[in-house]
Amino acid sequence: MKEEEKVKEKIMSALEKFSKAMVQPLSYISVAGMILVVGVLVTNNAVVGLLPFLGWDPIQLVGNLLYQCIMVIINNLGLVFAVGIGAALAKKDKHQAAMVGLMAYFMFLVANNTTLSTNGLLAEANPMLGLYGTGQSTVLGFQVTDMGVFSGIILGCLTGYVFNKTCDASFKGYWSMYSGTRFSFTCMVGVSILMGVATCYVWPVVQHGISALTNVIASSGAFGLFLYGMLERLLIPTGLHHLVYAPFQFGDLGGTLALGDKTIVGAYPILLTELQMGVPFSDSIYYMGTGLAKTFGYIGICAAFYYTAKPENKKTTKNILIPLVLTATLSGITEPIDFMFAFIAPGLFLVHSIIAGTFVALLKVFNIHSMTTGLINSFLMNLSAGVERTAWPKMYLLALAEIVVYFVVFVFIIKKFNLKTPGREDAVAVEEENGSAKTVSTSNDGVAEAIIEGLGGRENIENVDNCFTRLRVKVKDASLVNDTVINKVKNSGIVKKNNDIQVIFGIEVPQIRKAVDAALKK
């Protein structure tokens, strides 16, 4: 039994590291998406028709520049992941690891293309469909085995692993030039070439497996979407939800779109491409439906928290919840709210996940092809795309129903089981919590020192990182972590997984991480 637990811990630790690494490039992609929306809206014919001044050539030039410059990133996510994941996994000298990851990706492309060419395996492009359906694609000018983002993800993981194992290598004499990170690069030359050759023969088998999985999900219809939406929410507390949505939104599982000799892969790039082209949206858009709960569902959740809060705590609860629900509704960042009840009331969080998955499935049931993420962005994009393409009035009716369902169900469960959700703690406890928070200086130095002390001191901290909302820290001895000291700094929860500690701060976490890094260097 103990052996099984050790294996389980190792698997969960590996998944945690991978998920944390995925967050780094995805954080930039989220920002890129916000910029891309501007380019799409400015150059959209329907929007220009409503606002004729947008047709002015300089404005159209800016819109096209924004669209094309961001799309080059979206279309080359493999490279982004190779560099980003490699750097994120590196324990030190992250900039060097990023450089190694970049070079490894180029070598992989050349090795793969050379192997295909030498062995007569290059596919012939169809005049109409290009390389679509051949199992190959063109990446940065090289015709290679079509791995989508998986090439970058795999190479990024390999880069991080090899770099950590080899970056401290030291040689003497003539061989000294191969020491350190240069030895890491040397090793990745062999790894990249080997992967480039192997994938020519191995990946086609994987492609068949992916196609089969896609078919299973597609054949599951609304039930498949239910599972997709439920798991994406359910795994939020573990930080592993990226493993659910990323393959669909950015990989083959989310569908493909053939455009001449170019193939668009993943629900997110497909959505943006179809929006720009003005064509009907494909069913890939349903994999973006997780935004329905983020944008609207949390309104019902927070309303339920406020409604069930004790009278003496309502004002405080309202002040806490309003900025959090605005963040969720406008940006889709929900972790600050999730961690307010995920561990206090895990059964309620399970119900939350089920409701979220149900409404993703209902998008398909009612044949709704609307954008759902971000209240303002989704409204503008749906309006520009038109009712015929999106059926957006039905989406907003469904969103209203989701708010009501969340409110009614949450109020019932909270009261039925007397759950200690926000605002239902004793007034004294709230005052004590607020008072303890005030004991920390509001300066960055004061906050950082409190966090470091709570994590067991400088000597106990091995690595500090962050994702969208969480400060992620690896400590040497988890028993030295003092929750009481950490909680002197306002946060939304502390998650412990062996030696991996996560403190939920919300969208201000980059500033907190910067302050902690600076304090550790003193």
Give the residue numbers annotated as catalytic, written as ranges: 467
Q: How far apart are CA 511 and CA 466, in angstroms?
A: 10
Cβ atoms within 10 Å, residue 296: 24
Identify the CA nearest to 357 among candidates 286, 416, 414, 411.
Answer: 286
The alpha carbon dihedral of 43, 49, 51, 54 has a sign of: positive
Identify the CA nearest to 477 among candidates 493, 458, 503, 492.
Answer: 458
Angle at which helix 346-365 crosses helix 392-417, to 10 degrees, equals: 160
Tell me the three state secondary structure of residue 522: coil
Cβ-count burial 2-17 (b if 16+ within 10 Å, e if not): eeeeeeeeeeeeeebb
Q: What is the dihedral of CA 164, 166, 167, 173, to 10 degrees?
A: 170
Q: How far apart are CA 269 and CA 437, in angstroms?
A: 43
Q: How far apart are CA 419 and CA 404, in angstroms?
A: 20
Q: Which residues contact 173 (CB under 8 A, 6 or more apart)?
A: none
